[in-house]
Every structure is written in structure tokens, then in C-alpha cells.
A and B are shown apart, each in its own frame.
Chain A
């Protein structure tokens, strides 16, 4: 049935998928609570609305959106953990919510908030269980384990109790556990949440390598623009359950990321900078530290000016995700081909 509209190279296709949750609307106060015992009002909340999404084999796609946009719900539908309220889904020729083992063997999912590892034991212990669950041959198991532990640079941590690992090390282990069976698709839900810059950077490097070397298709959600910008050629932005942008990541940032944040720190007191440029918002103007929001095309000029005051340190950050999403949202949805 669904096979007709499935091209060979597309491994994920969804057509108008919608997920509606019901939630209990409680009136305020004790009176409201008591009233709620007998009669309850529910409101329906669409976590994902009529979404059409196609992913080709080997892609590295970023899924962007603020909290509650529907990213996790989408991933849960694609992995079959929950069923969509309506619409069609086809992943690798399967309808995910049928929960066929043949399908489960072809994907992996890593949720930044939920751990697969046994905390009291070592990673090797957990891996052996997964070897049996995924029916991985001993030879392949050893090969993959060696490959990933080398790639992630955690060879000497494989026999350490998981609870003693740092958050960054733990996330690497989660990825190894997930990748052990060579999944065709890897769903990553906030893999860098809570990690520091160095650990996130390492994780990004590994993910790129997995995508390029192994050809694993990866769908990544993240709060951090850095993750998406560094990894994903293509981005999908969703907000309030609606797909509002689908296209090249580069275009997304060129078009919608209008400003950068520049932070300059001085080791000597510096009076107010007399910046000549328009399009510079002052966020903080201290003697030792100054923060500006600068329009993207002005960055170069403003930087040059700041340099004249001999800053001790200077940093340039991407605009945060919320602002970008809001801008796209205001302009109306923009689906680029």
C-alpha cells in the first residue's frame, strides 16, 4: 500500500502525520480539584501536525525547534514507540508502530535523558546483553566493539563501572551501545545535553565519522545551533508541531540567523566603546566586560573596532535557537526544495 510512493533511496517518508495528546485541564484551587473528580475537561494538544518529511539514505539531518515543538514526539513515532493519531509513516518499508523485530534491528535510538546502561556494571557487561538481543555474531561484535571504542577513544574505560564515568564518557558509551548492531538509521534526541564544549565537540566529530564512514543515516535533535551547524547539511525546523522550514542548513543560517553575539573581556578598564556602526545592540557595558548583539554583516567591522581596544579575550557566538525559530515563524512557513 504505502510502497507506491516510496522511492528506493528514501528511507523515511511521512505523509500528513499528526499526533494529538489529550490532557486534563484542571481548574484552579481545591474547589476545582473536587469538581475534577467527577467531570473532567480535556484539551487536545497537537504535538505534531500534518507533517511531511522525507529522508534519504546517508543524510545527516538536524531537527530544530524550541522545547515542546514536537521533536521528541516525531522521533517516538518514527521509532514506533508511539503510534501517530493519523497519517502515514514508512521507514525502511515498515510501519514503525507494528514494532516488528526486523525493523527494530535496523535502527537505534539514543535519548539524552534516558540511559540504556546498567549503572552498577561495566559497559562491556551491557554490550554482551545487546549482542544477544540484536543477534550479533561474535566476530562482528568484536570488530565493532574495537572499532567504536577506538573511534570514541574510550578503550580503557570499557571495564569501568558506568556510574563512575563522566557525563561525556557516558554519552559516548550510549552511542557505542546504540551503534553496535550497525543500524541503518540513528535517531539522536539531544545527545549533547548537559555536556561541556569539549565533550560536545568530540561527540560531533564521532558522529560525523559514523555518518561518513559507515553511511549511517542520522536524525539529530538539539538545542545547540553549534551541533546542527557543524553536522547537518539539511535542517528541519518545527514549532508548535508544524514544520516551518525544510532545506539546506546553510541557507537557514544565511537567511534567518541575523546576528551574532560578541563578548569582549579586557584586563584593563575600558570606558564606553564609541562604536560608529548601526545595528549593534549593547547588552552589557561594563568596564572589563562588554557584550554586543551585532548584525551578521557588521561582525567584521565591529570586531576590527573592538580589537583597537586590545581586548584580553573575545568570543563570537551563534544566535540562540529560539530567536531564529521565532523569526522563521513570523515570516510564515518556508519550505525550500
Chain B
């Protein structure tokens, strides 16, 4: 376990060196909230409610959701695996005596933990400055469920991206597919607009996908919506995570032999 802690720590330290990145990341979190404020303030001018949202409910949703989706940084895992397999430097991870998936998970944990602190400060500052009447649930069980869902959701995203990265071993040109996936994920995790604004049918389909539970449902829960789905959601994402782990195990065994280290 110690070695994974060290891996997390070294990536955390590495983040600090990129000072400009830290600032950009904060600005970006802020920008997303300001932009949402702008667009929704215009739309709410004509109406007091959009769907089930009030203006402040909507803003609270955006603050929580953009905060959570900033933490979801796992696409870098699949991209890195993809690139390293293609140029032959993936061996870097194969020769060290750690579990490769564990390595990536630890790396992700280190980076996420680091940004967690900074993004939290950013979000708090902006709630104060914009004097948003922040809507937040008071129900303890809902909070516990939401936090659990976030944690499992982040793990699931790491697993998923690790798995997709491994697919490069079989399918070379997967880079494009990864980009399409990133686009779709940004939609179905509700980071563009709350899924509740889509037609009923669309929402029902999304509920079958794991992404619904990664940042969308927790954001809704924390801002006081969809309370009835709390327990059920934790169960679903947990099942997805377990299933994913099984798939990874199978794939890893089968595909790792295909790695030929071409390039360097």
C-alpha cells in the first residue's frame, strides 16, 4: 500500500510544479460557473422556473456539477496508455513491480486530491461573490449516498479509461474513439446542462448508463433533487464498478501478450 501512497504523492507534487496549470484550472472552474450564470440569468428573465429548477437551484447544480466534473480527470489515463502503447513506451509501467491499474489509480488519486482543495476554495469564493442562495440538501443519508456515489464513480471512470486504454493493444486507431467518448461523457454526466431538461425518454435511457451516476446524480442529490434515487444509485454504480473490474482482469490477461513494444 505504501508504494501506491508514494505514487499518489509524487503526482500531487508534480501538479504543484505546473503553477500556471493550477491557476488555469481554478479560472476554468470559475469561468464555467460564470458562464452558466450568464446564460441562465437570461433565460430565467422570462420565467421563474425551468423544468423543476429555480434560478438558484440551477446555479447550485452548476456549482456542484462543475466542481465534480473538474475532479473527474481520468481521460488522461486512457490517452496516456493509448499514446504509450503506440510509441512503445508503455513498457515503463510494465517493468516496475506494481499493479499497473493500481499505479494509474494512485496517480489519479494524487492529482484529484490536489485539485479537490483548490476547486473547493474556488467554488466557495464564487458562491460568496455572486451571493448565490446555495441550495444544499440537509438530509444526512442523501449526503452519505452522494459522497459514496462520487467515490465509486471516480473509481469507475478510472477503470473505464484504463480498460479503453488497453484496447489500444488490439485496435491501433482508438485515439479518435477516445475523443468521441469524451464528448459523449460530457453530455451524459450533465456537465453541459442538467439531464432533467431533456425529454423523459432520454433521461430514462441515461439511467441505464453508469455515467448518470458519476457526477450527474450526486450533483442533483446534493442540491436537493431526485432524493428517491439515492440508495438505488449507489447500488447501480457499485455493480458497474465490480463488473468493470472483471472485464479488466480478462482483457489484461488476454491482451498484454499482444504488446510488442514497437517504436523504442
Q: Is the CB of A36 within 8 A of B17?
A: yes
Q: B3 contacts the other chain (Cβ, under 8 Å)?
A: no
- B122 in contact (CB, < 8 A): no
Given contacts A33-B13, A37-B19, A37-B22, 8 further A-B contacts (CB under 8 A): A26-B17, A29-B13, A30-B12, A30-B13, A33-B12, A33-B16, A36-B16, A36-B19
A24 within 8 A of B: yes
Q: Can you pick out 17 interface pairs between chain A and chain B where the beta carbons lie within 8 Å of each other?
A: A24-B17, A26-B17, A29-B13, A30-B9, A30-B12, A30-B13, A33-B12, A33-B13, A33-B16, A34-B16, A36-B16, A36-B17, A36-B19, A37-B16, A37-B19, A37-B22, A40-B19
Q: What's the minimum C-beta distance from A27 to chain B, rounded to whole angstroms?
A: 11
**Chain B contacts of A37 at CB under 8 A?**
16, 19, 22
A322–B16 CA distance with the chains assembled, in angstroms: 36
CB distance from B23 to the nearest CB of A (A): 10
Chain B 1-43 interface 0/1 with A at a Cβ cutoff of 8 Å (1 = within): 0000000010011001101001000000000000000000000
List the A side residues contacting B13 at CB < 8 Å.
29-30, 33
- Residues in A with CB closer than 8 Å to B22 are 37
Residues from chain A with a CB closer than 8 A to the CB of B12 are 30, 33
Residues of B within 8 A of A33 (CB): 12-13, 16-17
Closest Cβ–Cβ distance, residue A288 to chain B (whole Å): 31
Residues of A within 8 Å of B9, CB to CB, are 30
When each residue 172-190 of chain A gets 1 if its CB lies under 8 Å from chain B and 0 otherwise, what string results? 0000000000000000000
Listed from nearest, the 5 A-B pairs whose CB atoms lie closest are A33-B16, A33-B13, A37-B16, A30-B13, A37-B19
| Cα–Cα, bound, A40→B12 (Å) | 18
A306 to B14, CA, bound (A): 55
Closest to B22 in A: A37
Q: Which A residues fall within an 8 A CB radius of B? A: 24, 26, 29-30, 33-34, 36-37, 40
Residues of A with C-beta under 8 A to B17 = 24, 26, 33, 36
Interface centre among A26, A36, A37, A40 (most CB of B within 10 A): A37
- Set of chain B residues within 8 Å of A30, measured between Cβ atoms: 9, 12-13
Q: Which residue of B lies closest to A30 (CB)?
A: B13
Complex Cα distance A24/B19, Å? 11
C-alpha spacing A30/B6, complex, angstroms: 11
In the bound complex, CA of A40 to CA of B19 (Å): 10
Closest to A40 in B: B19
- Most A-side CB within 10 Å, residue of B12, B13, B17, B19: B13
Shortest CB distance A153–B (Å): 26
Min CB gap A113→B, angstroms: 12
| Alpha-carbon distance between A34 and B16 when the two chains are bound, in angstroms | 7
A170 to chain B, nearest CB (A): 13
CB closest chain-A residue, reference B14: A33
Distance (Å) between the CB of B63 and the closest chain A CB?
24
The chain B residue sitting closest to A28, CB to CB, is B13
Q: How far is the CA of A100 from the CA of B17 in the complex (A)?
A: 36
Closest CB of chain B to A159's CB: distance in Å? 22
Shortest B175–chain A CB gap in Å is 15
Cα distance A30–B13 when bound, in Å?
6
* A33 nearest in chain B by CB position: B16
In angstroms, how far is the closest chain A Cβ from the Cβ of B109? 14
State the Cβ distance, B9 to closest chain A Cβ, in Å. 7
Q: How far is B13's CA from A283's CA once the two chains are assembled, in angstroms?
A: 43
Residues of B within 8 A of A36 (CB): 16-17, 19
Please give me the residue from chain B that is nearest to A35 by CB atom. Answer: B16
Which partner residue on chain A sits nearest B9 by CB separation?
A30
Which residue of chain A has the shortest Cβ distance to B23 in the bound complex? A37
Report how far A40 CA is from B13 CA in the complex, Å: 15
Q: Which residues of B contact A24 (CB under 8 A)?
A: 17
Considering residues A33, A34, A36, which has the most beta carbons from chain B within 10 angstroms of its beta carbon?
A: A33
Q: How far is the CA of A33 from the CA of B22 in the complex (A)?
A: 13
| Nearest CB of B to A42, in Å | 13
Write the chain B residue with the least CB distance to A32: B13
Nearest-CB distance from B32 to chain A (Å)?
A: 23
With both beta carbons as reference points, the residue of chain B lying nearest to A24 in the complex is identified as: B17
Docked pose: A316 CA to B249 CA in angstroms: 53
Closest to A29 in B: B13
